[in-house]
Structure 1
């Protein structure tokens, strides 16, 4: 078993994952509570996670209608779980060229070219947990109520 990381190191690792990873598991539920889980590409702007999908599919409808979301980054032995709320829904025409280009470059596809049914969803994180093995479970919570519980970069 590997020695546990400090909370500061785990926060740094989380931020690196948010910056470098391309895809995330997105869990949402409809207003009756029926869950739905899909992988989507994302962009982290240093504060919020942006994802894009069609509002005609279950995930798009769920994010638009209920607003709650859970995100899973990484592998099961190095996981980051984040809970958040959809803070903003943007039409593809409403994003700047610079921002749209950054999303497209990272994701490998451009939602602006997918038609009017696509939307960008800005997810504001409320809670973040990260752990590798059992020895990190005790201190896995790194963000609560949208505030990091550790200092550092």
Structure 2
């Protein structure tokens, strides 16, 4: 964990950020889950961010000292991607990015791998519950995964109190 204690800047990402966003995903995923197969080249991953995620999702980045250190892509009640560089995990950056998504959606679903204990603990800490587990046959990594779900709690209006006249 890094000892930097400054608050990251949260910024909307554009096409010229997609290479960096894809790189954060790649580094974070392979350092934390080294058993996963490496199925795509960096260029293919950047293309996915540029051609699929950018037109269909809100993509935000967390920057510290002019360096992109975290990224989230979300929309239509789904978090498609949420990655923080390993040296910057545990500093609240993921919570900040997830909080932005939660501000905009009343419910959220996302997939993570069953063996990704850190991600599972993170999502459960933020109120997500496991909804379904699979054997991984339907994902390209063929790795058992779990579907998480979060729903905003309805806000309660204060009950009218009888007057004490």
More strand by share: 1
Which bin holds the TM-score, normalised by the shorter protein?
under 0.3
Q: Name the TM-score, length of structure 2 as normaliser.
A: 0.25
> TM-score, normalised on structure 1?
0.26
Which structure is higher in RCO with an 8 Å CA cutoff and minimum separation 6? 1
